[in-house]
Chain A
């Protein structure tokens, strides 16, 4: 039973088809990269999987369960976490509060109207644990909007991890991060729990080839081809459609 299964997903915006008959499977522990030219519909696909958008036809299955009709929040509770291409954080709150909120919503702590939010020491300790693992502890008391963008991006990932997901979708995690700080992100991505199925949208081919065990190429909303990094690298058509456009990037890896 696959961790995430997408079957024949279809979606149009008006007359424009943005997702066409997409099939995708993520096994437990998968390390899959989703690549494609700009406008290929990668983020749209993630939005369809997470429930931000509803498909016109097709199914999404999480651990064998059909979640196509479920809400975003429902899917999150069942173990589907994502990061956004542009940070979606609680900017006016401290880093620690961002994490405590996530843990609190996950285990139902936030249903409590009576006890103080500090009453469950375990929530705070667990939240700090995530900060520790991403070396954000020193920033715990800082407001998110005061952090440099790279560290904010780390908070974005920390939140996704704090959901204890079984499937994690990362939308260009290193996007907008200055190159001096991007190694922080990449180290985190490399060190993710081997049990989690991870799908990462990326443009940077270095990251893709370093991280992915399989690659799906999306062009104009449809799956162009799928395969191992070696297969994709040697695929002439892929080079023409996508890698060729990148120019100096995506060079020649073995």
Chain B
């Protein structure tokens, strides 16, 4: 064995190196962050919009854990976004709790709890059953909020929320500069955690569940436990996204629970490419920018365009924009080799 070890480039060597080094940061990974910072300087008047994009990136990232890595298709992810959004909203409006960072933690815990409980029951099912159960859960949460619209503000929501300055120091300006950097920082921290999870042995087990759940059972993997764990984490992150949404908008309504929201984030993720970490970045950014531009032109035209985009994506680019890039990259690599 020692002999073949010393020969560099043997399959054994390369395979081992590949696994040992997979989690290391690559140069290209700095790109989205550099772009995000550049946007801050290039488009200073669009910072409110920028914050919304960052919120959506976080939301899509949380969905990628479930959909892209574990392979679970659900229709009610907005439920966790909504729980997080309302935790912060209700705390600010009813309990006068306006400290933003503790708000994020509270939202994460509340949403994570809902994710844990619902996940424990629902993740025993798949397919249409799971789609309907998760959809019903989101709607039930929405209807519960509507039941006590005196507390929740119903579909009119809770307007005019104000929040204490960040860390007691950074105040909010009219153009949303503070909010943007705040959202970007939180996103970076969350992303760091998600990235660690994805490259961990647990993350590997998730891909195993996605690729062949029968095999996972047969090798002794506690599949249900793994799924509930990732579902809880994803729910907590979606909750943080929701909390940020309320904080940066200073406003929240029950529409955060809409099926529309769940569908939108799924479309963003598919567009960017699932199971690729950065698919959430690409997908959310592209979708939000296109929506901003086209729906101002004509909402009908935008809806048609999104529909067309989905149809074309499924037929010709099922692995999303990043998948297209990968294919181009593979083609170029082939070309170079020959």
Q: Do chains A and B touch in the complex (CB under 8 A)?
A: yes
Q: Which of B173-189 contact A (CB under 8 A)?
A: none
Contact residues in A for B197 (Cβ distance below 8 Å): 113-114
Q: Tell me whether B149 is interfacial, beta carbon within 8 Å.
A: no
Given A100-B19, A110-B201, A117-B200, also A93-B207 (CB < 8 A): yes
The answer to whether B19 and A88 touch across the interface, beta carbons within 8 angstroms, is no
The answer to whether B219 and A102 touch across the interface, beta carbons within 8 angstroms, is yes
Given A137-B12, A140-B11, A141-B11, also A109-B201 (CB < 8 A): yes
User: Which has the most chain A C-beta neighbours within 10 Å: B202, B203, B208, B218?
Assistant: B218
The answer to whether A159 and B219 touch across the interface, beta carbons within 8 angstroms, is yes
The answer to whether A72 and B202 touch across the interface, beta carbons within 8 angstroms, is no
Given A88-B218, A159-B219, also A115-B200 (CB < 8 A): yes
Tell me which of A82, A104, A114, A116 contacts B205 (CB under 8 A). A104
The answer to whether A90 and B200 touch across the interface, beta carbons within 8 angstroms, is no
Contact residues in B for A94 (Cβ distance below 8 Å): 15, 18
Q: Which of A123-169 contact B (CB under 8 A)?
A: 123-125, 128, 137-141, 159, 163
Given A90-B211, A118-B22, A159-B219, also A104-B201 (CB < 8 A): yes
User: Which has the most chain A C-beta neighbours within 10 Å: B19, B212, B216, B221?
Assistant: B19
The answer to whether A139 and B11 touch across the interface, beta carbons within 8 angstroms, is yes
Contact residues in B for A123 (Cβ distance below 8 Å): 201
Rounded to whole angstroms, the CA-CA distance of A167 and B129 in the bound complex is 36
Q: Which of B8-26 contact A (CB under 8 A)?
A: 11-12, 14-16, 18-23
User: Which has the most chain A C-beta neighbours within 10 Å: B18, B20, B200, B207?
Assistant: B200
Q: Which of B58-92 contact A (CB under 8 A)?
A: none
Contact residues in A for B15 (Cβ distance below 8 Å): 94, 96, 128, 137, 140-141
Q: Tell me whether B215 is interfacial, beta carbon within 8 Å.
A: yes
Q: Tell me whether B223 is interfacial, beta carbon within 8 Å.
A: yes
The answer to whether A116 and B11 touch across the interface, beta carbons within 8 angstroms, is no
Contact residues in A for B205 (Cβ distance below 8 Å): 101, 104-105, 110
Q: Tell me whether B204 is interfacial, beta carbon within 8 Å.
A: yes
Q: Tell me whether B124 is interfacial, beta carbon within 8 Å.
A: no
Contact residues in B for A104 (Cβ distance below 8 Å): 201, 204-205
The answer to whether B196 and A114 touch across the interface, beta carbons within 8 angstroms, is yes
